[in-house]
Amino acid sequence: MSRWEPNARGRLERAAYELFRDQGYDQTTVADIAKRAGLTERTFFRHYADKREVLFGGAGSLQDELLRALDRVPPELPAIEAVRIAVEAMSTLMHGRRPFSLERQRIVAAHADLQERELIKRATLTAALAQGLQRRGVPEPAASFAAEIGIAAFFVGFGRWFDDPAQRELVEIVHEGFDQLKAVADGSFL
């Protein structure tokens, strides 16, 4: 087997999620995942530190996209609009990933240590977004509040994505969520 494997990371991810679904997360080993993907364990460890990492490997990409999108927003827009654009850009990374995400959600919900890691991921994203806003010149506490609102819109939307009767993409639910959040904040939603 050659050292370079086309799309090894994607193949490992797909194999892992299939095994998590079919035989359970706890019962799945790195050896199982590598075998199912037709790759070696060594290749697995080149891409992921352990099987938990398969579940959290996307967190860095989300944050990168969030901050890249924020940097592209014209400076004259209000903080909340900048946040909305950045969070929606991040949400588009989930296009077509509902089956993976649903399986992932089930696994995380069943493991206290993974839930903790999810909370850390959320706190890290929020802090990064607040810092990005500060770099745009948004003062505190507005930067923190705008970041909190944006990340809440993302995570509440994420939870609703799985049950959405219209099976919309995450970005549409998050877009709607910003309007709902605004209506809740100004009391026009009773």
Both tokens assigned to 109: 């919900």
**Please, which residue, 34 or 177, has the CB nearer to its own copies?**
177
Q: With binding defined as CB under 8 A, does residue 184 bind its own copies?
A: yes
- Binding segment for its own copies among 2-10, 18-26, 61-69, 156-164 (CB under 8 A)? 156-164
Rounded Cα–Cα distance for residues 61 and 93 (Å)? 8
Q: Cα separation of 6 and 86, whole Å? A: 31
Is 25 in contact with 111 (CB distance < 8 Å)? yes
Under the binding rule (CB under 8 A), the answer on residue 49 touching its own copies is: no
Q: Which DSSP letter does residue 138 get? A: P
φ/ψ of residue 5, rounded to 5: -120, 125
**Contact call for residue 148 and its own copies (CB under 8 A):** yes
User: How many residues make contact with its own copies (CB under 8 A)?
Assistant: 36
**Which residue among 119, 127, 131, 135 contacts its own copies (CB under 8 A)?**
119
Instruction: Identify the residue among 47, 52, 160, 175 touching its own copies (CB under 8 A).
Output: 160
Of 65, 81, 103, 169, which lies in the binding site for its own copies, with binding defined by CB under 8 A?
81
Contact between 47 and 33 under an 8 Å Cβ cutoff? The reply is no
